[in-house]
Amino acid sequence: MTAATMRCDIFCAVIDNHGDLGVCWRLARQLADEHGVQVTLWVDDLAAFAAMAPGLDPAHDCQMLGGLTIRRWQGEIDDPEPGDLVIEGFGCRPPSGFLLAMASRRQPPLWINLEYLSAEPWVEDCHGMTSTHPQYGLVQHFWFPGFTPRTGGLLRELRLDAARQALQADAAARVAFWSRLGVTDAAEWSRRISLFAYENPAIADLLDTLVADAASSLVLVPAGRALADIARWAGRAALAPGERVTSGRLAVQVLPFLGHDDYDHLLQACDLNLVRGEDSFVRAQWAARPMLWHIYRQDEDAHLTKLDAFISQVETQARPAAIWAHAMRAWNGAQGRPWAELLTALPALTGSMAIWQRHLLGQSDLASGLMRFYADRVESAPVQSHLGTHTR
């Protein structure tokens, strides 16, 4: 079987922050665009998807979007026809009828559980582990994204870095981008900062620092959960896309919820990026600009272990100034207001993050790794059905 005829099903359940969907959509696009795979993306909330992809009609259960087949997924699927590769995003198990159809194929699909990203050392040992379905005998492979060659890698399109370099080297291209977003004066500010975060009390402290700073700052905020904190800081009941708040040396511009390509350009065009979750976190690293990560909070502060693991990897490879780790922890609830020192260190941190980005560029991207894994496990494997094996 060649990649040109290969079919893939990706299942995604939208939880609450669109990050799972963002990752699954990027993966689907890359498999289709760069590897010739016919992808069906199953999503349980098309209204949430439409917020990210304005060309999508949430009223239609099945439609095409940029070469992908998008289908609504709610409960069982009528007459399922699984592809050659089945990917469940972050443990959202496909319906039982679909699993039965997988097991009934002459050559069962390669079944991947795409896990959450982590920099913790245990990820290397768990990447590639398997689990056998107790009823159908299907083997599931766990795919752990990560920052080392012994993990599943990170999503990175083939032309992403060339596009980044072109935008960052071309002032006219950046002006055109800002104009398209309706921010015609972006180039006039000393620094541009993107802010995409969860609710965070540190936001007000950072904005206060920017108001009093000697250099002017334009903070660009895509619509999202951080707007409530910014509105409260500004003494407003709410803020909407297109509105701007100014104080001292600071202006805060509210942007609409951006599609993937425009959000990538925003990160590449800013001098500091404040990001959250997983999808925007990874994209900020490809932008090769200083960034702070607002990690998703977990019970018993388990997220702080993940945060420290990431900080440790960056420090080992790129040796950023110590203020970066201090600011990362403060952005995630630790004591301290290191924002003025962070702003002073931005030029040096830009160099450090460029080193980190080059380190990541030296590794295989996630989609290409999946395709090699598929070729190794399926294309050379003997044809057999797993239905009825009932192994554990």
Strand pairing partners for 272?
Answer: 193
What does the CA dihedral 309, 311, 314, 317 come to, rounded to 10 degrees? -70
CA–CA gap between residue 314 and residue 292 (Å, rounded)? 12
Q: Which helix (H) or strand (E) holds 9?
A: strand 7-12
CA–CA gap between residue 310 and residue 218 (Å, rounded)? 28
CA–CA gap between residue 38 and residue 80 (Å, rounded)? 16
Angle formed by the axes of helices 279-286 and 346-361, nearest 10°: 100
Q: Quick one: tokens of 175? A: 């002006």
Question: For residues 10-21, b (16+ Cβ closer than 10 Å) or e, as one string?
Answer: bbbbbeebbbbb
Catalytic residue among 20, 213, 264, 279: 20
Residues 6+ apart with CB under 8 A from 172: none
Active site residue 300: no
Catalytic residue among 45, 115, 271, 278: 278
Active site residue 44: no
- Residues belonging to the active site: 20, 278
